[in-house]
Amino acid sequence: MMCVALCAFAQKGLCINDVFEGKVVLKNQMQESLIKGENLASYKLKVLHTARFTTHNNNREEVEKLFYEDMKSRLSDDDENMEMESRNGHLYYAIVQLTDSEKGAHRFICYQCKDNDRRYDITLVYMEGSASLADLRKTFKKK
């Protein structure tokens, strides 16, 4: 229970927190992982929270909407602070550096969507730490 509260606190103020809380896709329909602390030190991160799920178009559009809403709080309008790929009016890949947390840590949100025969495999990620976007690009190369 305390772990869930800490996760929500890390993503406090973000619209995508609704996804992590199971308000868009039920918790039992997603694979979720949370890694915190020393296990992430080599990546210059303190928090790595992921949610993976397969869904239909309505939920896909809701997750995209939430993600785009959070993009408004990105570090700047500079393209160096984000990477994004869209196709046919839908988001397929994005990594965005948000404004820093109250503790001064860099915050990132990531989104990946893969077509799966009229359903969509979505991975949503929240990261926090001292890593830069350049560090993350090296660590998590887009495939």
Task: Output Rg (C-alpha) for the chain, integer angstroms.
Answer: 14
User: pLDDT for 77-130, tens place per residue?
Assistant: 666 788 889 998 999 999 998 888 777 889 999 999 999 888 999 999 999 999
Q: Which one-letter amino acid corresponds to residue 135?
A: D
pTM: 0.86
pLDDT at 99: 82
Q: Could you tell me the end-to-end alpha-carbon distance of the chain, in angstroms, rounded to an integer?
A: 35
Q: Where are the beta strands (DSSP E) in the chain?
A: 30-36, 45-55, 82-87, 90-98, 106-115, 120-129
User: Rounded to 5 degrees, what angle do the CA atoms 38, 129, 110 make?
Assistant: 115
* pLDDT at residue 78 in the model: 66
Average pLDDT rounded to a whole number, residues 36-51? 92
